[in-house]
Structure 1
Amino acid sequence: MRRLRPAPNLAIATLWADLLGQAGIAATVQRAFASSIAGQVPPDQALPEVWIQHEEQFDRAGVMLDELTHCPPRLWVCPGCGERIDGPFEQCWNCGAAMPPDPPSRL
């Protein structure tokens, strides 16, 4: 087993481990409940961590988490109503129109 990285909280650590598992990478969450000792140890030592079971999957797992945590920002204008849409949304909240193919990342 090898430690991939700490997560900011247990929910994120669990999400990361689940996403890696869906991609065929055996991952576990360690220190899931270590936050209870924060104050007795430095806070960064009590964060939950994602660990990879097999060494040969370590690099692939790191690339996947980097892509997940550093998504490019998206900002697009709805072709139906002109609403500016920011974030991961692929449909306009105002009129329901779909995001155009290859919208610019910045307006």
Structure 2
Amino acid sequence: MSAWVRVFAYPNALLVSHVHNVLESAGVPSELRNLTLGGGAGDLPLGECEPEVWVAPHNAARAKILVREALEGPVEARPAWTCPGCGERLEGAFETCWACGTHRRD
């Protein structure tokens, strides 16, 4: 797993967990690291104690966009879409169909 890249780090483990959940729900496999190293701050460099989210290199660009949108909101409103799995009509804010779990493809 050392070939993975870090896409987000922050001192607040709840925010890091939220980012991890956003990536996972968008179909981007991710890994949480350093969730329990906060107690080592002072003995270890602060940057090495922050909770982090890591992804495979081929997912890094999409993950960074999703992280930015999770923290700042989408750059522009996305149009509504029709689920390719079941035909359900969904608002643009949704990445995954609530009815069948299919991920948005655009």
Q: Name the TM-score, length of structure 1 as normaliser.
A: 0.60
Q: 2:71 aligns with which of 58, 69, 72?
A: 69
Q: Following the alignment from structure 1 to structure 2, what is the Cα–Cα distance between the partners of residues 10 and 43?
A: 14
Q: Following the alignment from structure 1 to structure 2, what is the Cα–Cα distance between the partners of residues 30 and 42?
A: 15
Counterpart of 2:71, as a letter, is T
Maintained 8 Å contact 2:8/2:67: no
Gaps of 5+ in 2: 75-106
Maintained 8 Å contact 1:7/1:50: no
Partner in structure 2 of residue 13 of structure 1: 16
Following superposition, the deviation at residue 40 of structure 1 comes to 0.7
Q: Following the alignment from structure 1 to structure 2, what is the Cα–Cα distance between the partners of residues 40 and 8?
A: 16
| Count of matched residue positions in the alignment of Structure 1 and Structure 2 | 71
Query: Which structure: larger Rg?
Result: 1
Superposed CA deviations along residues 3-28 of structure 1, whole A, max 9, x for unmatched, are: 11212311111111111000000011
Gaps of 5+ in 1: 73-107
Could you list the structure 1 runs, at least 4 aligned residues long, displaced by more than 3 angstroms after superposition. Answer: none
Maintained 8 Å contact 2:8/2:16: no
